[in-house]
Amino acid sequence: MGEAKALTGPELEQIEKIIADYKGQQWALIPLLHEIQRVFGFIPPPAIGPIASAMGLFPSQVQGVITFYSQFYTEPRGKNIVRVCRGTACHVRGGKTILKLVKQQLGIDEGETTPDFEYSLETVACIGCCALAPNIVVNRDIYGHMNPKKVAAVFHRDGGQ
Amino acid sequence: MEAITITLDGVAVSGYPGMTILELAQESGVEIPTLCHEPYLAPVGACRLCLVENEQSGALVVACATPIAPGMVIATHSPRVIERRRVIVQLLLASHPDSCLVCDKGNRCKLRQIAAELGVGLVELQRIPQAATIEEVNPFIERDLSKCILCAKCIRVDQELVVEGAIDYIGRGFASRPSTVNNTPLEQSECTFCGSCVAICPTGALMEKERAYGGTTSHSVDSVCPFCGCGCSISLEVKDNHLVRVIPGTASPVNRGTLCVRGSYGCDFVHSPERLTAPLVKVNGEFEPVSWEQALERVASEFNRIKEKHGADSLAVLGSSKCTNEENYLLQRLARAVIGTNNIDNGSRLYSSARRLGLERSAGIPATPNSIEDLEQAGVIMVIGADPTVSAPAVGYAIKRAVRYRGARLLLIDPRQTKLAQFANLWLRPRPGTDIALVNGLARVMIEEKLVDAKFSTGKTKGFTELVSSLKKYTPEYVAEVTGVPTQDVVLAARLFAGAESAAIVYGNGITQHVSGVDSILALTNIARLTGNISNGGGDIFALQRENNARGAGDMGSLPDFLPGYQGVDDAQARGKFEERWGVSPPDGSGLTALEMIEQADKGSLKAMLIVGENPTASFPDSALVKNALAALEFLVVADMFLTETARLAEVVLPAASFAEKEGTFTNFEGRVQKLNRAIEPIGDSRPDWAILLEMARYMGQPMPYSSLQEVRNEIDELVPKKTSVKPGLFIPVEYKPVSISGDGYPLTLLTGSVLPHFGSGTRSLRAWRLKKFSPAAWVEVSGGDAQRLGLADSDPVKVVSPVGEVTAAVRVTEALPQGMLFMPISFPESPVNDLWAAGVPDLKTCAVRLERMSADG
């Protein structure tokens, strides 16, 4: 988990406001985390303390839940989320190379975010359209039958956004 | 409850509903291997080793988490089960480092034991190498998570029993590890280094940090922790007459397999190089080692000479709330029957404990009659004048458990933000010294709003009308003005307390050490009686004791006004009993209290003293005066483990054995009498206090006729009534008397108290190397506001000045204190906070002071 950066006053206020709706309801930890992530794009580590005390949990427990689920994030993420499929069908069709190319294009490793916060890179196990393998997904759009040229095109086009 | 019968390995056995297969098997003597089960923790079924076969369904179920059901047929060691267990162990070993040869867990490692039992040797599976990641910054715990098997015991003991929540899993799958928040080192987390996780860890992932490889201990001996009044059971692990480590005893309901940092890491004072190993006699101002015969002859002849010349009452005996019950009994017999004086007291006098215990009997206030388990059942817990998380950690754990897991509500009354504040439903911060006004205010609201238990308050207890009229002036507005607690909080607190089915009051030295300590106790008793919370299950008054045997010392009559069992020194019937047994009539008329002894020594009317296991020079107010007074004695004998500030003033110093080197019993704050056993031989030529006392009496020509400790115990059983009858309850109105704490030129109020990891005057805890290393010197806590105003920052050296004296310490800025208040720990002789107090009344809690900045070079 990243170094805890202090929250600004308004951010903290906003978090407190979200937490208030869930106070004392231990069952609601995960919906609460989703809500904070929806607003901030990630769960700022300094929010863990206030969340824990509102829920009657230990901060370590809240951190445990956040880090258990791969789709909760504790660091700011890029505007665009790139997911490269590493499922079996994509693997057979060269998914590994596609991943390498995407890394080169973006200049980051898996799980990282570009310094300008444009892109975050992840892998997924399968996105369910194996017929189009190898695939990558950018935000909610699927790009099938990827090859080096298309990879370059995707990021050339999206990179300008 | 109807018993449930199941067939276990072909034998019919019965258990109660809700029992798990594992529990029933253990009870029936059937051994099932497990790595993650622990009796006081909720089962999680993490390790899967306790798999057993349900022969009817063929299913393999985990024994630790499966409740028994009628007619179950369970095989615990069928070939299928054994095969599965072997695979599980192989999988565990495949990712476990092969460092057994150099792992200090050695033969204590449960994983290794179980692998050996199952015959699992070299693992044929592909290995997942684990790089060692040893973290050993703090002086207590060494973490190497490459040896972690994810049984979650450390996390569970931390969360479920200690309720600190410093660690939980981070990540998942292969990557998951127990971790602090943000994965910081332990010392930057909430961890208090209680050591409970280390004791419970089945592998070498968590280990005690020791000076060097300790090797396998040969045996362990059950005993009782020598520090606070909780009386946690401990197990002393011994090798070659050396105490290697202390682990929590698991059978005791007091600590349930937990300890605190003092118990886990504080007992190596036993092997401190500073231990006294031979009797010392002062010759020309210098101590010279002598034989026991010479030392005792000197003591006996001087005591007899002074007694003959100045009378028995020119001698006094100061016993210790750290000595065993048997030793305290012998001490008072030595004073009363051999010397012939009632000048006998013990160190707990300082925090009124002694006086309170006597009062309990005379005013019909019951002594803490209930157990820590009862406390945990209370619906509301009011904590006042105590920080149990520091002064009585096992009680702190119980309170936190009650709040977090049993829905108890916590009413915290403390100006300081202690660790309990985050657990409190209502937290009141009265000004120091205004507790009586606040408690009276609560009583008034309860009566006004008819929240009182009518049957209890008007039926069983006398004096209700007097109480009501005495409370007239304590309106919430008046109370708010005096205490600084908002009126609505006074009302809410009263409703919270009175509204509970059972409400407990926990108080400690913050109450008893004040001038008005006894009155505060009476005020608290009044609200307990008003609401029917005396012996009402968890609803009761729980008095914490600072020292491990403060209660026992009082019970055994180390008091100037009471024979053993709180039988008055002038009670003819009691006197008769003791006379018959001792062959000497106990002297009549109350003797000198500890503080009066110092006073009389200073005046010259007290000529000789025997001090056993106490260090008044460090622990009494105005240490300069105490020093002068003791130095003025014609003859001072001190029995102690160390050459303390007090022992240095003595003519004869007798080397005493530590708790680990003797037998006896301690009585904890609940009244539980617990046995300590000898783990090692006395260090050097030291002797247990009881043996010293018996010899002393013999040399004085009046031997006490005991050939063993058991005979002492028999006499105690015979002469000390098990339970004194509590007189019928009575409301005793008490008035709040304003004491001005701050004075001209001394605008700040200093509070003192104990701190983790130290204890008392630090005689022992500062000689435990890990505690000393972790916390080597005193500090003074300053509120953020005051620090800013005075331009002080962390670790700035300052002088704390009172009208009487001054001490130096380093600043620690904290948000836990309200502005105008300071806090200092009492356990550091180099910063003797007691120098700030005037002699006399033992109000050792608050004092008016000012802060003076010191330049960095002093």
Are B179 and A53 within 8 A, CB to CB? no
A60, A67, A68 member nearest B165 (Cβ): A60
Contacts of B190 in chain A (CB under 8 A): 58
Sign of CA dihedral A44, A45, A50, A56: positive
Task: Give backbone dihedrals phi and psi of B289, rounded to 5 degrees, phi first.
Answer: -70, 140
Q: Which residues of A touch B184 (CB under 8 A)?
A: none
Q: What is the DSSP-derived secondary structure letter of residue B67?
A: B
Give the tokens for residue B415. Answer: 């100006």
Spatial CA neighbour of B59 closest among B36, B83, B37, B81: B81
pLDDT number for residue B848: 87
The Cα–Cα gap between B439 and B527 comes to 8
CA distance B269 to A15: 49
ipTM above 0.90, yes or no: no
All domains of chain B, ordered by start, with CATH? 4-77 (3.10.20.740), 130-271 (3.30.70.20), 280-348+549-719 (3.40.50.740), 370-539 (3.40.228.10), 748-853 (2.40.40.20)
**Chain B interface test: which of A1, A43, A57, A58 (most B C-beta within 10 Å):** A58
Cβ pair B5, B14 in contact under 8 A? yes
CA distance B377 to chain A (A): 19
The length of chain B, given as a count of residues: 858
Query: Which residues in chain B are closer than 8 Å to A53, comparing Cβ atoms?
Result: 422
Q: For residues B712 and B693, what is the distance between their CA atoms, to the nearest angstrom?
A: 12
Share of chain A above pLDDT 70, in %: 94
Whether residue A59 and residue B172 make contact (CB cut-off 8 A), yes or no, is: no
Indicate if A88 and A155 belong to the same structural domain.
Answer: yes
- Do A97 and A60 fall into the same domain? no
Pick from B489, B495, B459, B469: nearest CA to B477: B489
Q: Closest residue of B to A67, CA-based?
A: B171
Q: Does A71 touch chain B (CB under 8 A)?
A: no
Q: Which residues of B touch A6 (CB under 8 A)?
A: none
So what's the pLDDT on residue B513? 77
Q: Which residue of B has its CA nearest to A58?
A: B165
Please name the member of B181, B190, B422 whose beta carbon is closest to the beta carbon of A63.
B181
CB-nearest partner of B183 from A1, A53, A56:
A1
A145 and A85 together in one domain: yes
Instruction: Judge: A58–B159 Cβ closer than 8 Å, yes or no.
Output: yes
Phi then psi dihedrals of residue A5, to 5 deg: -95, 140
**Residue A75: inside a domain, yes or no?**
no
User: Has residue A114 been placed in a domain?
Assistant: yes
* A74 within domain boundaries: no
State the total domains in chain A. 2
Residue B8, SS3 per DSSP: strand
Based on the fold, state whether residues A95 and A36 are members of the same structural domain.
no
Is A63 in contact with B182 (Cβ distance < 8 A)? yes
- The pLDDT tens digits of the residues spanning A45-69 come to 999 999 999 999 999 999 999 999 9
Whether A27 contacts chain B with CB within 8 A? no
Q: Check which CATH number belongs to the domain holding A46 and give it.
A: 1.10.10
Backbone angles phi, psi at B148, to 5 degrees: -75, 135
Identify whether A107 is part of a domain: yes
A111 near B CB under 8 A: no
Q: A1 CA to chain B: closest CA distance, Å?
A: 6
**A36: in domain:** yes
- Check whether residue A88 and residue A144 sit in a common domain: yes
DSSP letter, residue B462:
B
Q: Are residues A136 and A84 in the same domain?
A: yes
Question: A59 at the B interface (CB within 8 A)?
Answer: yes
Count A/B contacts: CB-CB distance under 8 Å.
44
Using a CB-CB distance cutoff of 8 angstroms, which residues of chain B are in contact with residue A60? 165-168, 179-181
CA dist., res. B740 & res. B735, Å (int): 16
Residue A2 lies in a domain: no
B779-806 pLDDT tens trace: 999 999 999 999 999 999 999 998 888 8
By the CB < 8 Å criterion, does A1 face chain B? yes
CB contact under 8 A, B170 and A56: no
- Residues in chain B where the model's pLDDT stays below 50: 362, 366, 858
CA distances from B766 to B132, B394, B776 (A): 33, 22, 8
Asked if B171 and A63 come within 8 Å (Cβ–Cβ), the reply is no
Residue A138 near residue A82 (C-beta atoms within 8 A)? yes
The pTM of the full predicted model, rounded to 2 decimals, is: 0.92
- CB-CB neighbours of B591 under 10 Å: 22
Please answer whether residues A74 and A66 qualify as being in contact, where contact means their C-beta atoms are separated by less than 8 angstroms. Answer: yes
B171 neighbourhood in chain A, CB within 8 Å: 67-68
Which chain B residue has the Cα nearest residue A56? B404
Nearest-Cα distance to chain B for A24, in Å, is: 12
Q: Containing domain of residue A93, as a range?
A: 80-159
- Choose the final residue of a domain: A68, A103, A119: A68
DSSP B222: E
Q: Which residues of B touch A (CB under 8 A)?
A: 159, 164-172, 176, 179-183, 190, 404, 422
What's the pLDDT at B209?
Answer: 85
Close Cβ partners of B47 (under 8 Å, ≥ 6 residues apart): B34, B35, B36, B88, B92, B149, B151
A53 in contact with B at a CB cutoff of 8 Å? yes
Last residue of a domain, one of A38, A68, A98: A68
Residue % of chain B over a pLDDT of 70: 94
CB contact under 8 A, B181 and A60: yes
- Are A45 and A96 members of one domain? no
User: Is the per-residue pLDDT at A125 higher than 50?
Assistant: yes
Position B687 scores a pLDDT of 96
Beta strands in B252-396 (DSSP E): 280-283, 286-289, 315-319, 344-346, 380-384
Closest chain B CA to residue A73 = B171
Residue A56 contacts B, CB cutoff 8 Å: yes
Is residue A104 domain-shared with residue A132, that is, in the same domain? Answer: yes
Nearest residue on chain B to A65, judged by CA atoms? Answer: B170
> What is the nearest CA distance from B836 to chain A, expressed in angstroms?
39
Give the strand pairing for B779-783 and B541-543: unpaired
Residues A43 and A89 both lie in one domain? no
For residue A51, being part of any structural domain is answered with yes
* Inter-chain CB proximity B165 and A61 less than 8 Å: yes
Same domain (yes/no): A104, A42: no
**Residues A64, B170: C-beta atoms closer than 8 Å:** yes
- CA–CA gap between residue B844 and residue B350 (Å, rounded): 8
Residue B159 to residue A45, Cβ atoms within 8 A = no
Evaluate whether residue A105 is within a structural domain: yes
Question: Does A61 contact B182 at a Cβ distance shorter than 8 Å?
Answer: no
Do A88 and A22 sit in the same domain of this protein?
no
Distance from CA of A3 to the nearest CA of B (A): 7
Query: Do residue A68 and residue B422 have CB atoms under 8 angstroms apart?
Result: no
Q: Do A64 and B168 touch (CB under 8 A)?
A: yes
Per DSSP bridges, beta strands B806-814 and B748-753 are: unpaired
Is there a contact between A68 and B182 if contact means CB atoms under 8 Å apart?
Answer: no
A155 and A86 within one domain? yes
Q: Which residues, in sequence order, are bridge partners of residue B665? A: B675
Asked if A1's CB is within 8 angstroms of B159's CB, the reply is no
| Mutation for B interface: A60, A68, A69, A75, most B CBs within 10 A | A60
Amino acid identity, position A72: F
Mutation target among B174, B181, B186, B406 for the A interface, most CBs of A within 10 A: B181
Closest Cα in chain A, distance from residue B753 (Å) = 27
Q: In CATH, what number is assigned to the domain containing residue A127?
A: 3.40.30.10
HEC letters along B702-714: CCCCCCCHHHHHH
Helix and strand counts by DSSP (H, E) for chain B:
28, 35
